[in-house]
A and B are shown apart, each in its own frame.
Chain A
Amino acid sequence: MRTILSIGVDAVSYGMVLFMISIGLSIMMGLMRVVNLAHGAFAMIGGYLASYALRAMGLPYAVAILIAVVGTIAISIPFEVLLYRRIYRKSDALTQLLLTIGITFFVIGIVNFVFGPTLKSIPLPPALSGPLDIGFRMVPTHRMFVIACGAVTALALWFLLDKTEFGVRLRAAVDNGDMAEALGIRTEMLYSATFALAVGLAAFGGVVGAELLPIEPFYALRYMVTFLVVVSVGGAGSIAGALSASLLLGLADTTGKYLAPEFGEFFFYLAVIVIVFLFPHGLLGRAH
């Protein structure tokens, strides 16, 4: 029983990190039909900004997160205006892949040049570092924080997309862009706002998840497959889908690591194969 609870805590925290980073990608793929391979690159930029704010400028953790999110969105604006705007919805998959993978390599090169090739840590404030006793075992305090962040992100997104005017318009634009435009919805603005939201979420996840997925120049490529897998397993565009996929995959991966670490990521991909076999459109995705 203790073992199961132990695995549970680690699985949920890992799953939440996957969720926070992947949800932005899921929204973009579901709503704008852009397979954004540069999503991990934006998460990485967020991590670097936070690391710089904390280590070089000595700012508090919360401020660093804010700088990371706002800064990454600011950095992404030229990309959005000059590049992404051309590939929303209409362009073919190959163009999207080539463009976004190009951006990824571009970001890797710049980051490597500016910050150097070594791992960049994101020092935690005393309140979040060190072990925390949760009764049956000690867990890193930070993991509890990650779980909380993930839960808040999921709730906030659900509220934003399901309960607000913005969400209504967005869903309308997604379902039938031409009709929405004819009805006076400015789809271009909506898409830009959603892009900023996705990038901001990536940056937030990158910073908060840096203990589990460390920030280094090849981060953008190293974890890209994982993020894509979460989206495809969950079903693009679905918050509940991304959340359940992240938790399931986190559980498969953590259980595997705990019981048979020498198998590496075998259990992670085994879970992917089984789920995709049973749910070809992802757990909660819709056929397009």
Chain B
Amino acid sequence: MFRHSFLKMLSAAFAVSVLLTAPGAEAAPKKEFKVCWSIYVGWMPWGEIQNSGLMKKWADKYGISVDIVQINDYIESINQYTAGEFDGCTMTNMDALSIPSGGGVDTTALIVGDYSNGNDGIVLKGKKELADIKGQTVNLVELSVSHYLLVRALDSIGLAERDLTVVNTSDADMIAAYGTPDVSAVVTWNPLLSEIAGMPESTKVFDSSQTPGEIIDIMMVNTEVLKDNPDFGKALVGAWYEMMSIMSKSDSAGVDMRTAMAKASGTDLAGYDDQLASTAMFFSPAEAVAFTEAPALITTMDFVRKFLFEKGILGEGATSVDFVGIAFPGGKTLGDTGNIKLRFDPSYMAMAAAGKL
């Protein structure tokens, strides 16, 4: 009898698990979409696009609905997108290549929003020059853009990672860690960076303005969803650039918007404007298109994929740096053309630039 009911329970558990993991019925075209974002100076507009009703306005125009969800943990938001919970998510070029694209989720860079132009930096305690980093213990979020920036910085002065010790440190603990006597070098991003660089005896010896255009912040969307539902792309791009034109002005509407974003990111208007100053925002779609079409992007992505491969995080079973293919405007590619999983496609931004949305 015990055995009987046990089997019953087991089969019930099976049924439930099969239901849970069954692939969602392919229902193209979809009507409802979900994108996610996390706190970062260049992504704060997404929160306001949702709150101000701009998203609803543009989604209504195309007869769809788009839900913009804020996720507290950046990496968690990318993982959720990769797992298929969201149709799009904000992330950097580097994380897009290593997490969704490396994980086989074909991903398109829909809106190239900005690049870090000083938002990421290396701070030394008691030392004044980048070369002094040699032999030190460096605290940073390992395998993040900070790690990438460190490698690029070391490159520029002929050092390598083995000349120092990297300690993985959570960004949540970075400021407290920097306060302890045994931490003498950190790599981090804003707003932590400005906080740490402002402490006594601290010198910012390198920042991302010395490698401009390499740490790019993008709204990435699922390529298949975009292909089946171009209206989803149009609505997102339309809402984004309307917000860009509002917040880039210094009139009262622009100041109100930026104040709201400042508040949502835990600072004030002056603080937020400071962070914007070290961010190269593409307020106009034409700038973003030009950036995406420039050959420099290919050079950057080549650096990035080499970095990821060297650290062993370029996709599962990546046996060579060419494992994941990347497509650029004009039919140019990097890596395996049979396995293109990351696409830079400026066509939707170009529609915005031409006023055709």
The finding on whether chains A and B are genuine partners in a shared complex, rather than unrelated, reads no
Query: A residues touching B (Cβ–Cβ < 8 Å)?
Result: none
Query: B residues touching A (Cβ–Cβ < 8 Å)?
Result: none
